[in-house]
């Protein structure tokens, strides 16, 4: 673990972070400036980085434990989209001075909880002072059999397009959080849980190796992310809006107000897998859904062309999901 300065930092690392590295054999108890990762033979190492900033990606009042778990889960979701097995992570922890030790203890407890759940230990990182608020970044490591990584660019014309789980709950959670929309309390709680505690689809991603052509996780909104598969694969993605799966909590709301489609297909933070596969693999996809217990729904197709076309069940083009994902801070030119 890097980190400079006063004794206070080293005490802090020792007290709250070193226990998180106990299961990482190459972390040297965070007493070194670097860690060693021994990936299995004949594997490729997958790396991904996601950062979160207070006031933009989260509010301090979201709860330290939930912030910690979301930080790990958004990175694990990227590993899932590659078909990778988690190895561990490096943490950049930017803290305002003076350090809120109770917050830090809760944050470390949240990390510990999800490290345990996903077998994903801390290897190292850096602690810094962040004058304007909490600044968090994780670089996650996973491994995948050599040459087996899933990519956004593997789509083929004629592929079916699939998505795991349900879409739009997190976007509705943000609507509720920003007090833009009143919803029943039970639904609000469900949406809030989806917003703050995504479920990385690791088992599905693993099972899709060799079956999916293009794959990614939905973090910026279904339509925008489908556009990434389209451009990386050099194809057009067609989404049948009537096939997009919504949760039991969301379905009655959409029935009342179809304007919600824009929020749900355009909002972010779903952390579901979006992937394409040949129609002749439809039975394999169903088996993967059964084996993992995760719903997988065909929502469209890939064809020659470019961009994303969203259409109704009877093939009329509609315009939804163009709002894109907006964090608390609004959209800056450098993106959040």
If the CB atoms of residues 6 and 256 are measured against its own copies, the closer one turns out to be 6
* Diameter of the chain measured on Cα atoms: 67
Helix axes 185-196, 169-177, angle to 10 degrees: 110
* 318 contributes a contact to its own copies by CB under 8 A: no
Which of 5, 184, 210, 307 touches its own copies by CB under 8 A?
A: 5
Cα separation, 20 vs 68, whole angstroms: 12
If the CB atoms of residues 126 and 254 are measured against its own copies, the closer one turns out to be 126
Q: HEC profile for 180-202?
A: CCCCCHHHHHHHHHHHHCCCCCH
Residue 286: how many CB atoms within 10 A of its CB?
12
Tell me the pairing of strands 160-164 and 85-95.
unpaired
Interaction residues for its own copies, span 295-314 (CB under 8 A): none
* 45 contributes a contact to its own copies by CB under 8 A: yes
- For the bound state, the minimum distance from the C-beta of residue 53 to its own copies, rounded and expressed in Å, comes to 5
Question: The tokens of 62 are what?
Answer: 């979201």
Q: Count the residues in the chain.
A: 336
Interaction residues for its own copies, span 98-117 (CB under 8 A): 98-99
- For the bound state, the minimum distance from the C-beta of residue 49 to its own copies, rounded and expressed in Å, comes to 5
* 179 contributes a contact to its own copies by CB under 8 A: no
Question: The tokens of 71 are what?
Answer: 């930080």
* 259 contributes a contact to its own copies by CB under 8 A: no
- For the bound state, the minimum distance from the C-beta of residue 223 to its own copies, rounded and expressed in Å, comes to 13
Interaction residues for its own copies, span 193-232 (CB under 8 A): 216-217, 219-220, 228, 231-232
Q: Which of 2, 49, 10 is nearest to 27 (CA)?
A: 2
Which of 19, 22, 51, 287 touches its own copies by CB under 8 A?
A: 51
Cα separation, 28 vs 36, whole angstroms: 8
If the CB atoms of residues 184 and 331 are measured against its own copies, the closer one turns out to be 331
- For the bound state, the minimum distance from the C-beta of residue 127 to its own copies, rounded and expressed in Å, comes to 5
* 39 contributes a contact to its own copies by CB under 8 A: yes
If the CB atoms of residues 184 and 234 are measured against its own copies, the closer one turns out to be 234
- Bridge partners of 239, per DSSP, are 300, 310
DSSP state of 135: E
Interaction residues for its own copies, span 60-79 (CB under 8 A): 78-79
Which of 86, 121, 124, 266 touches its own copies by CB under 8 A?
A: 124
Which of 40, 116, 132, 156 touches its own copies by CB under 8 A?
A: 132
- Bridge partners of 43, per DSSP, are 145
- For the bound state, the minimum distance from the C-beta of residue 105 to its own copies, rounded and expressed in Å, comes to 14
Query: H or E element: which one contains 175?
Result: helix 169-177
- For the bound state, the minimum distance from the C-beta of residue 121 to its own copies, rounded and expressed in Å, comes to 13
Question: The tokens of 185 are what?
Answer: 């309390």
């Amino acid at each position: 673990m890097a980190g400079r300065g006063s004794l206070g930092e080293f005490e802090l690392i020792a007290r709250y972070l070193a226990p998180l590295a106990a299961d990482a054999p190459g972390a040297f108890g965070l007493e070194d400036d670097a860690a060693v990762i021994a990936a299995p033979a004949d594997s490729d190492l997958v790396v991904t980085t996601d950062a979160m900033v207070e006031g933009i990606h989260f509010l301090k009042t979201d709860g330290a434990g939930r912030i910690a778990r979301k930080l790990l889960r958004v990175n694990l979701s990227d590993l899932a989209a590659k078909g990778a097995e988690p190895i561990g992570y490096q943490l950049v922890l930017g803290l305002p001075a003076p350090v809120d030790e109770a917050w830090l203890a809760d944050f470390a407890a949240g990390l510990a909880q999800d490290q345990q759940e996903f077998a994903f230990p801390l290897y190292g990182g850096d602690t810094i002072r962040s004058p304007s608020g909490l600044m968090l970044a994780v670089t996650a490591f996973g491994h995948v059999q050599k040459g087996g990584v899933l990519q956004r660019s593997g789509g083929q014309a004629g592929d079916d397009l699939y998505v795991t789980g349900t879409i739009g709950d997190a976007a509705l959670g943000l609507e509720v959080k920003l007090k833009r929309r009143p919803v029943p309390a039970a639904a609000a709680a469900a949406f809030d849980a989806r917003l703050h505690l995504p479920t990385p689809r690791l088992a599905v991603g693993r099972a899709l190796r060799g079956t999916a052509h293009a794959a990614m996780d939905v973090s910026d909104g279904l339509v925008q992310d489908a556009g990434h598969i389209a451009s990386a694969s050099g194809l057009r993605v067609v989404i049948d809006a009537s096939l997009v799966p919504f949760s039991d909590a969301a379905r009655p709301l959409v029935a009342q107000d179809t304007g919600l489609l824009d929020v749900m297909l355009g909002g972010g933070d779903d952390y579901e897998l979006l992937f394409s596969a040949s129609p002749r693999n439809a039975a394999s996809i169903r088996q993967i859904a059964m084996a993992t217990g995760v719903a997988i729904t065909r929502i469209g197709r890939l064809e020659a062309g470019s961009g994303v076309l969203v259409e109704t069940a009877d093939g009329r083009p509609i315009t939804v999901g163009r709002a894109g994902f907006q964090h608390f801070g609004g959209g800056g030119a450098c993106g959040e």
